[in-house]
Chain A
Amino acid sequence: FAQEVTLRLHQFLPAQANVPKFVLDPWADKVEKDSGGRIKIERYPAMQLGGKPPELMDQAIDGTVDIVWTLPGSTPGRFPSTEVFELPFMMTNAEATSRAYWDIFNSKMKDTEFKDVHIIAAWVHGPGLIHSREPIAKLDDMKGKKLRAPTRIVNALLGQLGATPVGMPVPAITENLSKGVIDGAVIPWEVTTALKVAELVQNHTEFGGDHALYTTTFVLAMNKARYDALPDDLKKVIDDNSGADVSALFGKTQAGTDAAGRKVAVDAGNNIIELSATDVEPWKTAAQPVMDNWVVEMQGKGVDGQALLDEARTLIDKYTQK
């Protein structure tokens, strides 16, 4: 079982963070095992091979590395269709939404926006929520709050809801929260443990009802030439560890790590505000212009935003009811 292929996997989080530990490592181990040791996947966490997180996609496209885990949203404007899943009140649970994401990726994005790269999996994280120094129980509480947002869409959403979006890299959140440079951050529970958010703010606003406030899309992407050059049997190993089921599993696994983050906040005696489906209605109304603007914006990029939006909703509902 001579080793034939070494693939370099590059990503931005430290090796012991949730996604590398529970999603990427198990996947890489499985690929190595399924190939009978003929594929070796070298793992480079925390941008060890250089560059900044937004450069990851180009590193995979240009062959600087072989595989990357990245957020299409870290390079705004390049993968506009993925944003349909990041729009407010779209996602239900990570597993179903990831399935819908893969379906639409496969039918609409594979040969267009992602034509320069081979996508192994496409998934989303668990329900995103607001963590803040002062309690946010109703829409009015958002006025004048300085909040750090993860994506372009959430930035637009915050502006729409009356808050001030503040841009900063993820590691800076902890420090700026502790000093009050920002009043809060919008992230899923899973990330709060690493950033010590529950120690720094006492309020967490969860959005009840069928749809979560927002989510963020991810892809596991491979250099195209590298994939094409694999011998057929090894290509099959990669293919068997790609696609809809793998994406759904990734989404489910990542969302599964949310509970630990929430528990930290509960144990700390923090105030967890659970908005009911009725409470959320005014938020949905206020967020509507974000959807409308997005559809208009998509026209300029040659994407039928409304059709994409409708299809994504239908698919998410379909997979959620299963």
Chain B
Amino acid sequence: MSNLTLGMVSFGVLLAMVFLRIPIGLSMFLCGAVGSWIITGSTAPILGQLKQIAYSTFSDYNLSVVPLFLLMGQFAAYGGISGKLFRTAENWLGHRRGGLAMATIGACAGFGAICGSSMATAATMAQVALPELRRNGYSGALSTGTLAAGGTLGILIPPSIILVIYATLTEQNIAKLFIAAFVPGILAAIGYMIAIRIFVWKNPDEAGELKPRMPYRDRFAALLRVWDILLLFLAVLGGIYGGYFTPTEASAVGAFGAALIAWARRGMTVHQLRDAIFYTASASAMMFFIVLGAMLYNSFLALTQLPQEAAAYVVELGLNPWVVMSVILVLYLILGGPMDSLSMILLTIPIFFPIIMGLDYGLPPEELAIWFGILVLISVEVGLISPPVGMNLFVIQSMAKDVPTRAVFRGVIPFIISDVIRTAILVAFPAITLTLLRWVY
């Protein structure tokens, strides 16, 4: 069996394992380790690598934001931050059809502006909004779909863990990527609200009761009541763009601020603190284990030369740059179905980035790199909510055990359609992504 074939076979084996409910990180770990063993004909390389790779992956500086953002999400939930955000959004949107679902999206966007993790945003907002949505008669499908999609605003609206990883892989400026992500992130929130609108128009019985319409005076009063959250938002973003700390350090500052607000609001009990830590422990270990598995699987794939051959093949075809871009993004949509998003970006950026940078889109190299980064971010985010494997789907489903998997999948489809349309618009008009960046710098 040639190495290329081995690479492709491993992909099939990996998918089979994942479908047989073997944990995803474990499946990648095994495929990577066994694959390397086969390809090098010896256990020495993989055993040597394992001496350091677990520690070095778990101690990665950029990834240290993951547990910090997760913990911050917990502080925010227990400290009432996410609840207050949700109430504020409800005051503005609750009277519309599907308004509570739209309010959830709005609150997710607000929370996403201080938190960089999709999973943390989904889990935190679900704790508050899921019971509210269900109590007000929203269907399981719409409730879970809304929260899974809303959670992605955690990475779509800066700061964003995925952008940190993209910047690390491609040696781009993280702060510039954050600025560029801003407008597409807002567009995502609006797109999701439109998706909800259309969903409830088609399925009127799935959207629950309407809330009374609030006068504007009350709506602005509600905004004022979230002053401490707005302050934290300003401190985190101002700190990053003002040069006081790095985006990585911002996660620690954000967690610190969230803890302060939680304490100032009503205090956290020791019991709640313990639960917050347990949640963070389980979710962090899960993510880091997937990254570790992806590291091993990636180095095996590199050994097979499959990524290199694929890149060479694309260049050889000599296609129009826009066709190449479309093919890559469609590939992300397809891969995002069965694959985990973090491993997907770790796997593909080393292949696709050089291909894209070698093509002409009428943009200077740095802008091209940033624009492509945002497009990748959005595609990856679709992976988080596209069945059957999607981190946010898992998180939401684990919190809404009464909703069958099939309903969760059905509920998320309108949001995926909204994602696809938005991606197409952002591909066609790079200026949407780049204008704010050009204006700031």
Seen from chain A, the residues whose Cβ lies within 8 Å of a Cβ on chain B are: 8, 14-15, 42, 44, 46, 48-52, 54-55, 58-59, 61-65, 168-169, 171-172, 174-176, 178-181, 194
Contact = CB atoms under 8 A, between A and B. Distances in A.
Contact of A62 (B51, B61, B350): B51
Contacts of B44: 62-64
B173 interface: yes
12 contacts: A49-B303, A51-B49, A52-B60, A58-B52, A59-B48, A59-B49, A62-B45, A62-B51, A65-B45, A168-B246, A174-B173, A179-B243
B171 to A, nearest CB: 5
Contacts of B52: 51, 55, 58
B101 interface: no
Contacts of A180: 243
Interface of B: 42, 44-49, 51-53, 56, 60-61, 167-168, 171, 173-175, 240-246, 295-296, 298-299, 302-303, 305, 350, 354
A168 B302 CA distance: 27
A242 B174 CA distance: 40
Contact of A46 (B46, B174, B175, B350): B350
Given A55-B56, A171-B171, A50 B246 contact: no
Given A48-B350, A171-B168, A179-B240, 16 more contacts: A42-B305, A44-B302, A49-B299, A50-B302, A51-B53, A54-B56, A55-B56, A59-B48, A63-B45, A64-B44, A172-B246, A175-B174, A175-B246, A179-B175, A179-B241, A180-B243
Contacts of A15: 354
Of all A-B residue pairs in the complex, the 4 with the closest CB atoms, nearest first, are: A62-B48, A50-B299, A180-B243, A179-B243
Q: Which of B42, B48, B174 has the most CB of A within 10 A?
A: B48
A64 B44 CA distance: 7
Nearest to A180: B243
Chain B, interface SS category: helix
Contacts of B173: 174-175, 178
B288 to A, nearest CB: 15
Contact of B53 (A50, A172, A176): A50
Nearest to B241: A179
Contacts of B296: 50
Contacts of A62: 44-45, 47-49, 51
Interface centre among A48, A58, A172, A179 (most CB of B within 10 A): A179
B48 A64 contact: yes
A117 to B, nearest CB: 12
A156 to B, nearest CB: 22
Contacts of B303: 8, 49
B61 A169 contact: yes
A194 B171 contact: yes
Contacts of A65: 45
A169 B53 CA distance: 17
B293 to A, nearest CB: 12
B302 A175 contact: no
Contacts of B299: 48-51
A179 B60 CA distance: 22
Max chain A C-beta neighbours (<10 A), residue from B44, B167, B171, B296: B171
B417 to A, nearest CB: 35
A181 B56 CA distance: 25
- Of A49, A59, A65, the most chain B CB neighbours within 10 A belong to A49
B110 to A, nearest CB: 25
A58 B46 CA distance: 12
A171 B62 CA distance: 11
A63 B37 CA distance: 12
Q: Which of A15, A65, A175, A176 has the most CB of B within 10 A?
A: A175
A314 B226 CA distance: 70
Contacts of A168: 246
A59 B46 CA distance: 10
Given A50-B53, A50-B298, A58-B52, A181 B45 contact: no
Contacts of B350: 46, 48
Nearest to A15: B354
A59 B60 CA distance: 18
Contacts of B246: 168, 172, 175-176, 179, 181
B243 A58 contact: no
Contacts of B245: 181
Given A48-B302, A51-B56, A174 B243 contact: no
B349 to A, nearest CB: 10
Contact of B48 (A58, A178, A179, A194): A58
